[in-house]
Amino acid sequence: MFKQLIFILSAVLVLGAFTLAQDKPETEKKEKKECSDKSSCCSGMKESSTGVNMEKSGETASLQIWNKVCPIKGEEIDADAPTVEYNGKLIGFCCPGCDSKFQEDPEKYIKNLNEDGSEFLKKS
């Protein structure tokens, strides 16, 4: 009887450990924001030759994201989306892919934002 009780307790502990090991912390469960229309901003992830800095160097990482809305779509920026340094400002985007579209013609898309980057003025 005592051996059976120990066996049952051991089995419960092992199954409990497997169950707990499969649960992911809340930070890993966080879903990334995606564009609602991927064809307009997320179609290509190619790098352009416009001279826009896409790398997050130590200097770039210390910059604050300048804008509050995406210059491509006008949606709220996602902190997890790529950023681009342009004219000394760190530009944020709503989703991956908008950064590469911005690189194709940064002057065109930066005009979509007001002077402080808090409002979307028009869609180019």
Q: What is the per-residue pLDDT across 41-95, written as a single tens digit (0 to 9) for each? A: 554 444 444 445 544 444 545 679 999 999 999 999 998 999 999 999 999 999 9
Task: State the total domains in the chain.
Answer: 1
- Expressed as residue numbers, the domain containing 39 is 32-110
Distance of alpha carbon 103 from alpha carbon 10, whole angstroms: 59
What's the whole-model pTM score?
Answer: 0.54
Distance of alpha carbon 87 from alpha carbon 1, whole angstroms: 77
Q: What percent of the chain has pLDDT over 70?
A: 65
For the chain, how long is the longest CA-to-CA vector?
Answer: 80
Judge whether residue 114 has pLDDT over 50: yes
The DSSP 8-state label assigned to residue 92 in this structure reads E
pLDDT at residue number 37: 52
Looking at residue 31, its amino acid is E
Is residue 15 in a domain?
Answer: no
Is residue 87 in a domain?
Answer: yes
CA-closest candidate to residue 84, choices 102, 72, 70, 68: 102
